[in-house]
Structure 1
Amino acid sequence: MPALDLFAELTGLLQILEQRGLDYALCGGIALAIHGVPRATQDIDLMGRRADLDALREAARERSSTGGR
């Protein structure tokens, strides 16, 4: 199984969130890495509005189902 390109996955997911007009905040290790603080991470941590939870989950599922394309 090929290694996951976390930044490519993040870019794809954020494009979907932006297209749908969903508010979010990037947090966790990947947010630190983007700000220049190296940190080993294998996931993407997001915060969003409680009212948008289902839409955020659907966006993540959509990104996952495309296999990163």
Structure 2
Amino acid sequence: SEEQWYNKSFNKGLEEDDPNFYEPSHFDFERFQITDTRIWWKDGFDPKWYLQPFPITEVNKNYGLVQNAGW
């Protein structure tokens, strides 16, 4: 809804034609400790994992798509 972005109490000094008028200007947050994290790869990580392979059916359509490196 529009109400979440438009809050007169936090935008008192701004005019409606100011680009910042409808942007969020106040955030409430609480820091918390991250626990029970897990490690995805202990060993054997390869940079090819940064890019996923394209389906071979898409590569074979011959419109210029080439497979990502390492796949």
User: What's the TM-score once normalised by structure 2's chain length?
Assistant: 0.23
Bigger radius of gyration among the two: 2
Query: TM-score, normalised on structure 1?
Result: 0.23
Q: Which is bigger in relative contact order (C-alpha 8 A, separation at least 6)?
A: 1
Higher strand share: 1
